[in-house]
Amino acid sequence: NSIYYTSVPSAATITPDTPPWAPQNQSTVNRSLLKTTCGQFAVAHNGELVNANRLKSEILQQAGIGLSTDTDSELITQMLCTRSPSQCWTERITYFMSKCSTSYSLLILTGDSIYAVRDPFGNRPLCLGEILCGDEVIGYAVSSESCAFQSTSTRLLREVQPGEIVRLSIQQQPELSGAASTIETCAIVPRPSASSSSNATGASESTAVLPAMCIFEYVYFARPDSQFEGQQVYSVRRRCGAQLASESPCSVDLVSTVPESATPAAMGYASACGLPYVEVFCKNRYIGRTFIQPSNLLRQVGVAKKFGVIEENVRDKRIVLIDDSIVRGNTMGPIVSLLRSHGASEVHIRIASPPLRHPCYMGINIPTKEELIANKLTLEQLRRALNADSLAYLSVEGLHKAVSAGCTSNPIGHCDACLTGKYPVQLD
């Protein structure tokens, strides 16, 4: 998730043929570098291009040859190379951004620089950090999440803003007889404007297009110790739990959670209700997230291996179980059965996000509506299917309230298309 770019010893040389990020043993990294008429470079990408098929067709028409893989990274690389080699990298990147407005956060590594790029909608996060030696800044780091900085003597500097192109480089400083890392904003590419159908007089009106950071980063993806928009993800999730308690209280003995991403929400729910928060599961830390497994079979096998029950905290107890989301419905049913088999008298479910009803075309593994359990069953049908005593979700309005309450710096707006079906851009 992170690339580090530090100042180099004065004896080192940096040329287009010797990238500054390469280790001494070049054999381990050369395969990731591309040699093109634009020079040698590499691309790292987080996100999913919403108009990838159209861009692939354009490249096929222009170059007469298709791509060798289905990866967006190869497509981005080809887009960067379609401009004249005489153009600077900022112009090449700006051209690509004009052709595709979302969804991507990019690192582009050239012979003498790293370019950190966030799409004009800011859909995926991207953070800048300062690498420290004592109190001295000796270099810079780039990461999707700020949590990556904590173990590397790096402090969060700021987020890359929507549409921003940031250049990190090493500049020779003769007066210091050496080199120093530098960071600068090369450009900020605006979002495309939108037009409403018409106003009261029949005239078309241009409307501002708001940024659209993925709200699911707060709900599920990001680590709780990461920071976006001047607030920690942990605090947002705790507020989601408190808001959920306000909307859907429950008369029980204790509050617990499906570890680990829902733990802050469960603690917020418990605090708001004046109930004890008690752990009821022991998680096998060597099993990955079931939601992001590529098949239903792998997800179901993962659930069976993932949790053990702390029986003395469960037997004869009325439990409200907090989870961050229900996507395909593979996990919660077996979990409720597990609690009942260990003596729980009641199991209530509260979800600290709204129902997922729409596919995401911007980087989340939700390709079809048919996969989403909220589109298959009503709330009552789902409650019965999960064998729960009650079931409730956080409202869309409640989620936005919890997220926006702590946006103290540079709030940029949020994409909730997976919840509402309102996409920030027109889809191919």
As a whole number of angstroms, the distance between CA 191 and CA 209 comes to: 7
Contact 81, 53 (CB under 8 A): no
Binding site per annotation, positions: 214, 261, 323-324, 360, 415, 418
- Helices 296-306 & 332-341 angle (0-180, nearest 10): 30
**Chain centre distance of CA 419:** 16
Residue from 418, 354, 340, 318 nearest 386 by CA: 340
Binding site per annotation, positions for [4Fe-4S] cluster: 214, 360, 415, 418
Q: Decide: helix, strand or coil at residue 82.
A: coil
**What is the β-pairing status of strands 390-393 and 346-351?**
parallel
Q: Decide: helix, strand or coil at residue 5.
A: strand
Q: Decide: helix, strand or coil at residue 53.
A: helix
Site of tokens 């040389």:
13
As a whole number of angstroms, the distance between CA 209 and CA 422 comes to: 13
Q: In what order do the strands lie in the sheet with 34-36?
A: 34-36, 39-47, 104-109, 113-118, 164-173, 178-188
Q: Which residues are bridge partners to 168 per DSSP?
A: 114, 183
As a whole number of angstroms, the distance between CA 57 and CA 66 comes to: 8
DSSP codes, 54-72: HHHHHHHHHHS---SSS-H
Contact 47, 364 (CB under 8 A): no
Say how many residues make up the chain. Answer: 428
Residue from 213, 233, 237 nearest 223 by CA: 233
Binding site per annotation, positions for Mg(2+): 261, 323-324
Task: Write the CA distances from 119 to 162, 190, 220, integer angstroms.
Answer: 6, 9, 21
As a whole number of angstroms, the distance between CA 190 and CA 69 comes to: 30
Contact 19, 30 (CB under 8 A): no
